Structure 1
Amino acid sequence: MTRSAARAQTYDPMPLIRCLIGGAALALGGMVVAGQAVGQESGDRPAQPDLIRTYAYSFYGDLSYPADFPHFTYVNPDAPVGGEYSEHASGTFDSLNPYSRRGRAGRYSQSIYESLLETGGPFGDAAPADAYGEYYCLLCESLEYPESKDWVIFHLRPEARFSDGTPVTAQDVVFTHNLFLEQGLPSYASGVRQRVVNAEAIDDLTVRFEFAEGISRRSLIDQVGSTPVFSRAWYEETGARLDEPRFEISPGSGPYMLDSYEVNRRIVYRRNPDYWGWDLPQNQGRHNYETIRVEYFSDDAAAFEAFKTGEYLFRTEGNSRQWAISYDFPAVERGWITREEVPDGTPPQPTGFVFNLARPQLQDPRVREAITLAYNFEWTNQQLQYGLMARRYSFSQGTALEATGVPEGDELALLESLGDLVPPELLTEEAYIPPEASADALQDRRNLRRANRLLQEAGWIVGEDGVRRNEAGEPMRIEFPYSTAGSATGEAIIESFLENLQAMGIQAVGQRIDPSQYTLRQRDRDYDMIFDAYVAFLDTGTGLMQRFGSEAADYSLFNPAGLASPLVDRIIDISLMAETPEERDTALRALDRVLRHERFMVPLWYSPNQWFAYWDVYRHPEEFPFLSAGVMDWWWFDAERMAELRAEGAL
């Protein structure tokens, strides 16, 4: 749903790979309703009049592309193939298995695998990037299911192959499904296990999934269709486990293969000339680079200096200070490096300073609201981010799903129907937006006075020593770890926030730690507060439960606050069971309102544009689709310009 290049942020702790339990489906159609023909092609099963057989899937029924589409509309089908895309990563890696909770996986280590349905480019771009919630057959050539969506059958493409030349079979699909249930992330496995009751290989090219009764049909077909498919033979021969960090990897079926790696220095992926899917319509004009190279650096400062000398050629700038004042070096002035701002058409990712709700001192919402008031966005934006940012507050900001004002109409009726689950103030107060602060000084006196009142009401009183304590005499202490791989600007933002907390009598301590230790503490939820992110939503899906629901709140890697709210659970359920798009949208507006009311994170900033700086060897079509900038998906390399730059001594 989001663009492969993250929204420009001043601080990026490289959060964990985030997998949806299912996608949030939005639009669908172009489906073919088949009768007898389907029965005949599926082992002579009795024909079902409501059976749908199609080349793509979407929940409601409209597809943007017909069955015979030649390519996605936003690509250049004649784009040249070749050259190298190179970028940087900060920190370290000690594994190439992205599906284990242990270890720090190398960037893009998931990119070599494919799924039955196309759910995005190998390096994280949306695909298609101009239509949300549509999934086109990739490893499968068709799928069929009843209108009730009680089950689905996928018919695999006979030509699909892993990179070692072995065929991709239905047995591989079932094996992978079971492997994720047995050895995958607990929050993922428990969610899928409750929804998918059986997976069966009917024959080598036909696989059937059955779904649990009495649950929403949302995120079922797209869930099983989006799971990466592994080689059963490789796992059985090697005895490897999905839950262990390792550098030995199974063969994938995608357009790129792992070429080489040097631990903590670089990873190289190479285009597979024997890739089975080059002739598919959705692959035309895509996957154009011969190699993808990721260079690792200890921190962002070192990475920026390496970019200036051409050690890598593409940089998605995440540091507002650098974007504002640091691109004045010779390569830019001579036109060797291009700077480009690309509008981001998706709602901003909900980044923030996330509270660990399991910590006793943070369980009172008045405390969390007081701490939120200590973040001065206006001062931070002007003094540290050069006025380039906008304030984020909603989980669907800038869309029709953003809650505004006081609830009314259908949204009010929905909330009122939930009775005592709904706090009375939710029915009468406007959707929460953090109050503005003065840009003239870090400490906004009005907001800090309000914060101090809230803390006093919650029983945290400032003593003669200036330290805030509860009735038991325990000081309020907040530990905030952050990675040494982040930018200096990001560190300054965190420290200025902690300075305001200290002015309120809170023992707020920033802990600057190395990337490996940071990742471990992040996964173990060993923090009071942390910089992290949730997901923006444009639609419903069972992935919302994994991120915001109570079921896996104690251990889900995708719910860093540990949010567990019966009201949130109920509204997600209502959105999943909605019979019309209008009912779904009403529920999601209510969800946005309630999530903001919970105050489980301090909302930060976002940039309306993505900031790209790159050596002038990359090209792209003039128009960008709204879901993706496609840098690694459908841009291409200009070999002639590279030769010119080399002749000029630039590279």
Structure 2
Amino acid sequence: MRFKPHFTGAAALLLLSQFVFTPSSANAQDSAASEAPQTAAASSEECVPAVSLLGKPKMPADFKSFDWANPDAPKGGTLRQWSMGGYDSFNNFTIQGSEAAGLGLLYDSLFFSSPDEPSTEYGLIAECLSHPDDFSSVTFKLRPEAHFQDGKPIRPEDVIFSLDALKAANPQYALYYKNVVKAEKTGEHEVKFSFDMKGNRELPLIVSQLTILPEHYWKGTDASGKQRDITKSSLDVPLGSGPYKIKSFEASRNIVYGRDPDYWAKDLPVSKGLWNFDEIRYEYFRDRVPAFEAFKSGLIDTWTETSASSWATQYDFDARKKGLVKQEMLPEGRVSGMQGFAFNLRRDKFKDPRV
């Protein structure tokens, strides 16, 4: 699974317009099969480069870049963000420890989740997928050029290992992929997943979000000679296949990701115009108050405001007055919660609306 940007609340404060995309959650897999829309596959024999639960994917099969991305965007600079609390682990797959912010930048999944289309995935590590008419399985064709950051190719064995390892490392993954009962290599660059049920059109999409891990790394040893364990928290710098690597860090203080110039997927349509910053840096703060002060002083580049009161009263500072901070309200077209007071009308003192 890959994260994608999600702005909550009524407003967001931004200085930069180059988004970074990180692992996403799809709808729960227990949706009734009869209510789920058809996927993009026209037939059981067709290997399709994109899949959607809500009609057809917006982008055509031969698209060059997403229409919301700028393929000519300049690359360079540093994006400075913040996170609250601290961290003691670079393993974001286990329930142990507190993971560092931004770890999704290290990894790729079989398909890429489009942030502009709900429940829609486009081929990344896998160039296409196919499934039988009864949705009892899904087969992915891997790109031969896909490789990890150490240059080793991404094999069907890595895909199979990833499913088993994630289900063992975290009960949430075990639940999410509970209907996937078998993964097998069916070709040099092909892997098939079998399900314990038929007719669930969402399962191919769910599997397409699988984060792919390097089997040789996780079955190897760390610098101290200790066997790596994906169920344990660790500050051992991990190996991925994504657009960024961990460049430097001070545990619970900051972490810096550096763009990988040799990223294998940089020229794919799903990557064009993305991953533009040379560095992405997270500074850690204990709470929002000092973090906001850091933003006001120019130490952080972006701020998402979640308080209507603060939005109205807390932005009368010098950088804002000088135009160095751009305050914008970004409308959101999807339901994402509410902010306000809810009164218990069953209590006598709230029964009269004039109170």
Q: What displacement does 1:7 show? A: 0.7
Instruction: Kindly state the Cα deviation for residue 319 of structure 1 after the two structures are TM-superposed.
Output: 3.1
2:86 is matched by which residue type in structure 1? T
Q: Kindly provide the amino acid, as one letter, of the partner of residue 185 in structure 2.
A: A
Q: Which amino acid aligns with 1:207?
A: V
Post-superposition Cα deviations, 1:95-146, rounded to whole Å, max 9, x if no partner, equal: 1211211211111223211111112xxxxxxx241x2222111001121211
Bigger radius of gyration among the two: 1
1:65 aligns with 2:59: yes
Establish whether residue 377 from structure 1 lines up as the match of residue 280 from structure 2: no
Taking only aligned residues, the RMSD between alpha carbons, in angstroms, comes to 2.9
Q: Which amino acid aligns with 2:125?
A: L
| Aligned residue in 1 for 2:158 | 172
User: Retained in 2: the 8 A contact 1:277–1:283?
Assistant: yes
| Offset of residue 203 of structure 1 | 3.4
1:256 aligned onto 2:244: yes
1:296 equivalent to 2:284? Answer: yes
Name the counterpart of 1:192. Answer: 177
Whether the aligned pair in 1 keeps the contact of 2:156 and 2:188 (CA below 8 Å) is yes
SS at match of 1:316: coil
List gaps (5 residues or longer) in structure 2: 12-22, 222-226
- Alignment-mate amino acid for residue 63 of structure 1: P
1:494-533 equivalent positions in 2, closer than 5 A: none
Between structures 1 and 2, the one with greater helix share: 1
Aligned mate of 1:342, from 330, 336, 344? 330
Matches within 5 A, 1:435-584: 446-447=349-350
Whose relative contact order is higher, 1 or 2, with alpha carbons under 8 Å and at least 6 apart? 2
- Mapped pair 1:74 → 2:75: no
Q: CA deviation digits over 1:355-394, x for unaligned, max 9?
A: xxxxxxxxxxxxxxxxxxxxx817xxxxxxxxxxxxxxxx
Match of residue 323, structure 1, among 311, 317, 324: 311
Report SS of the residue matched to 1:62: coil
CA distance in 2, matches of 1:6, 1:157: 33
Change in Cα spacing, 1:114 to 1:2, as seen in structure 2 (3 Å) is closer
One-letter amino acid of the counterpart of residue 149, structure 1:
F
- Count of residue pairs brought into register by the alignment: 331
Contact 2:37/2:55 (8 A) holds in 1: no
| Alignment correspondent of 1:111 | 105
Q: Distance in 2 between matches of 1:340 and 1:140?
A: 38
For 1:79 and 1:149, how far apart are their aligned partners in 2?
Answer: 40
Identity, in percent, stands at 32
Report how far residue 197 of structure 1 moved: 1.8
Once the two structures are superposed, the pairs formed by residues 367-446 of structure 1 within 5 Å of their partners are 377=341, 446=349
Matches within 5 A, 1:34-113: 50-59=44-53, 62-113=56-107
Q: Deviations over 1:241-269 (max 9, x none)?
A: 22211111431111111111111111111
Counterpart code for 2:314: S
Letter of the 2:75 counterpart: V
Deviations 1:321-370 (A, max 9, x none): 3221111111111111111111011112478xxxxxxxxxxxxxxxxxxx
Deviations along 1:481-523, one digit per CA (max 9) or x if unpaired, are: xxxxxxxxxxxxxxxxxxxxxxxxxxxxxxxxxxxxxxxxxxx
- The structure 2 residue matched to 1:159, chosen from 145, 161, 168, is 145
Runs of at least 5 residues in structure 1 that lack an aligned partner in the other structure: 11-16, 34-49, 120-126, 352-375, 379-433, 438-443, 451-651
Give, in whole Å, the separation in 2 of the partners of 1:93 and 1:150: 40
Q: Displacement of 1:90 after TM fit?
A: 1.6
The aligned amino acid for 1:158 is P
Q: Which of 176, 183, 186 matches 1:202?
A: 186
Distance in 2 (CA, whole Å) between partners of 1:275 and 1:145 is 30
TM-score calculated relative to the size of structure 2: 0.84
SS of residue matched to 2:71: coil
Q: CA deviation at 1:204?
A: 3.7
- The structural deviation recorded for 1:212 is 1.2
Q: Secondary structure at the match of 2:206?
A: helix
Alpha-carbon shift at residue 27 of structure 1 (Å): 6.6
Distance in 2 (CA, whole Å) between partners of 1:5 and 1:86 is 18
Change (3 A) 1:326 1:272: same
Query: Secondary structure in 1 aligned to 2:258?
Result: strand
Question: How high is the TM-score relative to the length of structure 1?
Answer: 0.47
Cα distance change of structure 1 residues 2 and 232 upon mapping to structure 2, 3 Å threshold: closer
1:255·1:271 contact (CA, 8 Å) conserved in 2?
yes
* SS at structure 2 position matched to 1:302: helix
2:87–2:99 contact (8 Å) kept in structure 1:
yes
Distance 1:212 1:28, change over 3 A: closer
Match of 2:320 in 1: 332
Q: Secondary structure at the match of 1:87?
A: strand
Partner Cα distance (1:172, 1:326) in 2: 50
SS of the residue aligned with 1:261? strand
Return the alpha-carbon distance in structure 2 between the equivalents of residues 3 and 276 of structure 1.
Answer: 20
Kindly indicate whether the alpha-carbon contact (under 8 Å) linking 1:23 and 1:133 is maintained by their aligned counterparts in 2: no
AA matched with 1:164: D
Match of 2:218 in 1: 235
